[in-house]
């Protein structure tokens, strides 16, 4: 019988942590992720079910932290919802049960790599990588942008903290882009 071992998006048994100057890049293998979309004409029903289940549905370009669910807006009436993997490994099923037929829910955990970036000020790094005016956007801002030819989601957790979601198949390329840009800044 095969002995299977879970691997992170970077192909290791544990998440990567890279430090370059004051920057710390942490691979987040401890998050479960699902997309939630309101079905046509059912936003009000979805909003009520989400509120009862403790699932935030932030406004456009927004991120809202919660426990156990956090979420960020991805498109009109559509969000990515994250939760701790240890307790929500089957996040899509849990959300589907909580939100019922008012929403379409799809599993996203293994499609994306998540990196948390931390430094006193991430503006010099991010202005080299994407077109987001990081200094001026508020805490809780979330958007889709491009970094080194890769479509990514950027979530501003604080002035010195960002969560990036990029395609899992390009995890190494995204990490390399972050490392090269960081080396040019620090």
Quick one: average pLDDT of 131-142?
A: 97
* pLDDT for residue 162 is more than 80: yes
- Contact between 80 and 72 under an 8 Å Cβ cutoff? The reply is yes
Which residue has 């293994």 as its token pair? 110
Of the candidates 139, 122, 128, 143, which has an alpha carbon nearest to the alpha carbon of residue 180?
128
CATH H-level, domain 17-29+111-185: superfamily: Probable tRNA modification gtpase trme; domain 1 (3.30.1360.120)
CA separation for the pair 87, 47 (Å, rounded): 23
- Every domain of the chain with CATH number 3.30.70.1520 lies at 31-110
Tokens of residue 78, six digits: 């559509």
- On whether the pTM is more than 0.85, the answer is yes
Strands (E), 13-160: 17-20, 23-27, 31-38, 63-64, 70-75, 78-84, 103-107, 112-118, 142-147, 150-158
94 Cβ neighbours under 8 A, 6+ residues apart: 83, 88
* Assigned CATH topology for domain 31-110: Alpha-Beta Plaits (3.30.70)
Quick one: average pLDDT of 139-144?
A: 98
pLDDT attached to residue 159: 85
Of the candidates 44, 39, 70, which has an alpha carbon nearest to the alpha carbon of residue 56?
70
- Every domain of the chain with CATH number 3.30.1360.120 lies at 17-29+111-185
Residue 166: enclosing H or E segment and its boundaries? strand 161-167
| Mean of pLDDT over the chain | 97
pLDDT attached to residue 37: 98
């Amino acid at each position: 019988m095969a002995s299977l071992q879970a691997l992170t998006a970077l192909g290791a048994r544990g998440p990567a942590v890279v430090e370059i100057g004051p920057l710390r890049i942490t691979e987040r293998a401890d998050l479960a992720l699902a997309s939630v979309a309101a079905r046509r004409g059912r936003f009000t029903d979805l909003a009520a079910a989400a509120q009862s289940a403790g699932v935030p549905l932030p406004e456009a370009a927004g991120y809202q932290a919660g426990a156990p669910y956090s979420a960020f807006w991805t498109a009109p009436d559509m969000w990515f919802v994250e939760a701790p993997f240890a307790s929500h490994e089957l996040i899509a099923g849990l959300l589907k049960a909580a939100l019922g037929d008012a929403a379409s829910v799809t599993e996203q955990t293994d499609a994306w790599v998540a990196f948390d970036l931390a430094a006193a000020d991430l503006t010099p790094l991010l202005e080299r990588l994407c077109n987001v005016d990081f200094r001026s956007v508020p805490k809780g801002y979330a958007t889709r942008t491009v970094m080194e030819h890769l479509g990514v989601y950027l979530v501003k957790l604080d002035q010195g903290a960002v969560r990036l979601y990029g395609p899992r198949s390009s995890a190494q390329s995204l990490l390399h882009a972050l490392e090269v840009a960081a080396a040019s800044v620090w």
